[in-house]
Amino acid sequence: MLKQLTSVKGIGVWTAEMFLIFTLGRPDILSLGDAGLQRAARWLHALPERADKNYLGVAAANWAPYRSYASLYLWRAIDTGLVDAGLPVEACGKG
Output the pTM of the full model: 0.86
Percent of the chain past pLDDT 90, that is, above it, reads 69
Quick one: pLDDT at residue 55?
84
Active site residue 79: no
Asked whether residue 66 carries a pLDDT value surpassing 70, the answer given is: yes
Quick one: pLDDT at residue 77?
95
- Write out pLDDT tens, residues 78-94: 999 999 997 777 767 65
Catalytic residue among 28, 34, 79, 84: 34
CATH class assigned to 2-87: mainly alpha
Domains of the chain by residue range = 2-87
Residue 61 gets which letter from DSSP? G
- Write out pLDDT tens, residues 35-63: 999 999 999 988 877 767 788 888 899 99
Contact 16, 32 (CB under 8 A): no
Dihedral sign for Cα 41, 47, 14, 2, please: negative
